[in-house]
Chains A and B, each alone.
Chain A
Amino acid sequence: MTAYRSFRRSFDSIPDIFALTAEVFASEQIDPALLPSVDLTLEELFTNMVKYSASSAAVRIDLAKVPGGVEVTLTDYDVEPFDVTQAPDADIDLPIEQRKPGGLGLHLIRRLVDCVHYEYSPESRESRITFRKTQAGASASDRGTVAGSANAHD
């Protein structure tokens, strides 16, 4: 089963996005331990779309239950291409004097979900980002390491 909804391009939509994920997790009996990582990844990708695109179109979010977890797709309309999977990691070893707020969102999602795919259609000017979170793709800390960025580029 797939659930989808469109959300106004505003930070104010974030609580409604979380309401959708909570509703789907409950109705589809998806492991609630996966929900914080799914919410965080959705928030980071959605706020990126809000901040960096001039489009006024709503963003569509689809959620589908998959074995052991969930697959989520965000579709952004009338936009320029921006492949989130190619964004560089943040340098988390900098001393605090050199660290600046921001730049951590895409760095974090690589470590939280099993995989992230990006597609762009030049004809329709649509960006589509799909990620998957399952019990099998435990977060890096569950495996005792934080070096888990490669799977985000699958």
Chain B
Amino acid sequence: MLTIDFGPDGNVVIAGRLDAAQCPAAQAFLDQVQGTVTLDCSRLEYISSAGLGVLLKTQKRLMGSAGKLRLSGVNRHLQDIFVYSGFDKIFEIEPSP
């Protein structure tokens, strides 16, 4: 199960599990965002390579128009996945406190 929506502070809040079955919904939402966007991952429990593809596609699109996707509230497991995939070099990542 995955939910993705704007939070009260204007950040995009993603919660649940971003697996291959949930990627179409996440991609459809992120295809609508513009500029510099913070994705609050503090309630994101899980991401697979399919989910990484959604983030990469969004980052490439936003950077093409001088924006970017920032990732905040990233837990230890997700941080490992981002490091192993080299996403720590192409995303600004703020770990969870």
Q: A11-B20, A102-B49, A104-B49 are in contact. Are A111 and B84 (CB under 8 A)?
A: yes
Complex interface: chain B residues within 8 A of A90 (CB): 85-86
How far, in angstroms, from A47 to B46 measured CA to CA in the complex?
Answer: 16
Q: What is the minimal beta-carbon distance from B66 to any residue of chain A, in angstroms? A: 14
* Interface size classification for chain B: 20 to 34
CA distance A104 to B54 in the complex (A): 13
A107 to B89 CA separation, bound complex (whole angstroms): 17
Q: Which of B1, B21, B56 is within 8 Å of A101, CB to CB?
A: B56
- Confirm or deny: B90 has a beta carbon within 8 angstroms of a beta carbon on chain A: yes
Interface residues of A in 1-50 (CB under 8 A from B): 11-12, 14-15, 18, 36-37, 39-40, 43-44, 47
Q: Shortest beta-carbon distance, B48 to chain A, in Å?
A: 5
Chain B binding site: helix, strand, loop or mixed by DSSP? helix
Given A11-B21, A36-B77; A105-B84 close (CB under 8 Å): no
> How far is B17's CA from A137's CA once the two chains are assembled, in angstroms?
24
Q: Which of B46, B79, B81 meets A108, CB within 8 Å? A: B81
B5 on the A face (CB < 8 A): no
Q: How far is the CA of A141 from the CA of B85 in the complex (A)?
A: 12
Which residues on the A side are within 8 Å of B59 (C-beta)?
Answer: 96
- Indicate whether A99 reaches chain B with its CB closer than 8 angstroms: yes
Residues of chain A from 98 to 131 with CB closer than 8 A to chain B in the complex: 99-105, 107-108, 111-112
